[in-house]
Amino acid sequence: MHAAPALPRILTIAGTDPTGGAGVQADIKSIQAAGGYSYSVVTSLVAQNTTGVQEIFTPPVEFLRAQLRSVTDDVEIDAIKIGMLGTTEIIDVVRDFLTAHAQTCRVVLDPVMVASSSDRLLTREAEAALRELARLADVITPNLPELAVLAGAETATEFDAAIAQAQGLARELGTTVIVKGGHLGGAHADNAVVTAESVHRVPVQRVDTKNTHGTGCSFSSALATRLGAGFDTPAATEWASRWLHEAIAHADALAVGRGHGPVDHGHMNRRMQRAADTRPEHFLLIDAPPTPPLAAPAGPHTQALWDASAPYLTAIMELPFIRALGDGTLDRADFLFYLEQDAYYLVRYARSLHALGGAWASDADEAIADEQEMQRTWLADLDRETLPSPVTRAYTDFLLASTLGEPAAIGQAAVLPCYWLYYEVGARLSERNHDAHPYRDWLATYAGDEFLASVRGAIDRCERTLADAPDALDAAVRACAVASRYELDFFDQADRAWVIRDV
C-alpha cells in the first residue's frame, strides 16, 4: 500500500513561453504556488515574449503521445490542466488521453482560442473539436471572447450577460464554467463559478496594471491544483482568484519585459516565508519610516515610546488587511477571523489592565463592554470555541507577563500600543467611513472621542510613571516596541490565514 502523496500531483499540457510569463513555465510556477507537484507535457514550442508571439513550432503528434505515455507509465495524476493545443490533431490526441486516463482525476480546460487582441488562434474545425473536448472537462476557464465563441454569441460586455452565456454552455456541455471578469471595465474584476443550476460569485478587485501576461494560464493551473488537493470548485476558485490577485498586484515590481509583463507567481510564498522568520535578531527590525502621531505624546518619556511605535504604524497602514478594511473591500472571512482573535485577545488584555489597577482597570471595563457588544453582534453565529492563533497567544502571553511580572512602568508601556496604535489606525481609516461601509461600526469605535479620551489618559499615566522611574525607560521602550510589533502581526495574520485551509 502506498502512502498518501504529500502534494497533489498536477499535469499541465500546454505550449511554452521562454520569458516565463505564460504556458507551461507559468503553469509550473502556479502549481507550486498553489501547493502542488507539477508534471508538464509540451504541445508547441512558442517563441514569444511580453511584446507578442514571434513563431510557433509544433512537434509531430507522435512526440506528444510519447510524452503522455512517459507520464502515465510511471506516475499518478490527481488533476490535469490543459492549455494551448493549437490543432485538431493535438486536440484528438488529448481527447484520447483523457478518455483513457482521466477517469479518477479532475480536469481543467483553459480553452486557448482567442488572443487578447481578439485574433482567432484556432481554425473553425479546431474550435469545434475543442468544444467537444470541453465535455470531458470538469471545469473550463475561458476568457470572455472565448466564452462567446464556445457559446456561439457576441462577446459579453457586462458580467450578467457573461454569466447567462456560461450557464447555457454549462447546461449544454455538462461542465462547470468559470466566468472571468478581467476583460470588463470598472473597479471590479469578479469571477463566477457557473453550473447549469447555480452561480457562485467571487469578488475580485481590479488592479491597475498592464502586466497581466499569462493570467489565464496561471489561474487555471492554480485552480487545477486546488481541485487536485480535494477542494470543491467554489473554494478552489476563491483561493486561485485571491492568489492571482496578489500576483497581479505585485507584477509591476518584477520589471520583466517591455510589453505586457508577467505576474509575480511567487509573491505569496515569499510573503509567507518572511512571516515565518524566527531569527530573534530580526524580530524588531523594521524597514519603515516613522509616522507622526495624531494623539500627541505627553512629554519626553512618551515621545520615546512613540518613537519606538511610529515605524510600526507606517507598516500597519500599508498592510493589505488595513487597506481593504479602509475601503470596504475586505473579505468578510478575514474580518471575522480578526474579530474572533480579538475576542480572545480582549479577555486577556482586560486581565492585563486590571493587573495595573486604578484607571487602567476602569478603562478595561468600559472598553471591553463596548467591544464585546460588537463581538456578540458579529460572532453571534459562531458555533465553536475561540482558540488563539500563535500570534494572538504570543501577544497576550507577553502582555500578561509584562503586567504581572514586571515593574509598573514596563507593564504600562506594554499595553500602551493597543490604545495608541489602534487610535492612530482608526482615526486615519475613519476618513473613509460612510453609512454604507460594511465595517462602519468598527471604524467608528476606534476613531471616536470617547476612545481618544482613553488614549490620552493612558499616555498621560505612562508619562507620569516613567517620570518617577527614569531608570526603567530603556526597558519600557523595548516593551513598547515588542507590543507594537505584535500589533503589526495581529493585523496581518488574517491575510495569511486564507493561504492554508483544510479541505
- Whole-number Å distance between alpha carbons of 495 and 480: 24
Q: Can you say how many angstroms the Cα of residue 107 is from the centroid of all Cα atoms in its chain?
A: 24
- Cell of residue 445, nine digits: 469605535
> Given 214, 326, 411, 426, which residue is catalytic?
214
Q: How many other CB atoms are there within 10 angstroms of residue 377's CB atom?
A: 10
List the Cα angle 269/220/140 in 5-degree steps. Answer: 160
Q: Report the residue count for the chain.
A: 503
> Given 12, 175, 215, 403, which residue is catalytic?
215
> Given 16, 83, 181, 217, which residue is catalytic?
217
- Whole-number Å distance between alpha carbons of 231 and 320: 25
Contact (CB, 8 A) for 499 and 268: yes
Q: Is residue 358 packed enough to be buried (19+ CB in 10 Å), middle (13-18) or exposed (0-12)?
A: exposed
Q: Is 216 a catalytic residue?
A: yes
- Whole-number Å distance between alpha carbons of 235 and 241: 10
Q: Which of 45, 44, 38 is nearest to 71 (CA)?
A: 38
Q: Which residue has the cell 499569462?
A: 214
Three-state secondary structure along 298-357? CCHHHHHHHHHHHHHHHHHHCCHHHHHHHHCCCCHHHHHHHHHHHHHHHHHHHHHHHHHC
Q: What are phi and psi of 205, to 5 degrees?
A: -85, 135
Q: How many other CB atoms are there within 10 angstroms of residue 3's CB atom?
A: 5
> Given 212, 233, 403, 445, which residue is catalytic?
212
Q: Is 217 a catalytic residue?
A: yes
> Given 216, 261, 326, 411, which residue is catalytic?
216
DSSP 384: S
Contact (CB, 8 A) for 211 and 260: yes
> Given 86, 105, 141, 180, which residue is catalytic?
180
- Dihedral sign for Cα atoms in the order 372, 375, 381, 382: negative
Beta carbons within 8 Å of 353's beta carbon, 6+ residues apart: 360, 361, 363, 364, 403, 415
Q: Is 180 a catalytic residue?
A: yes
Residues annotated as catalytic are 180, 212, 214-217
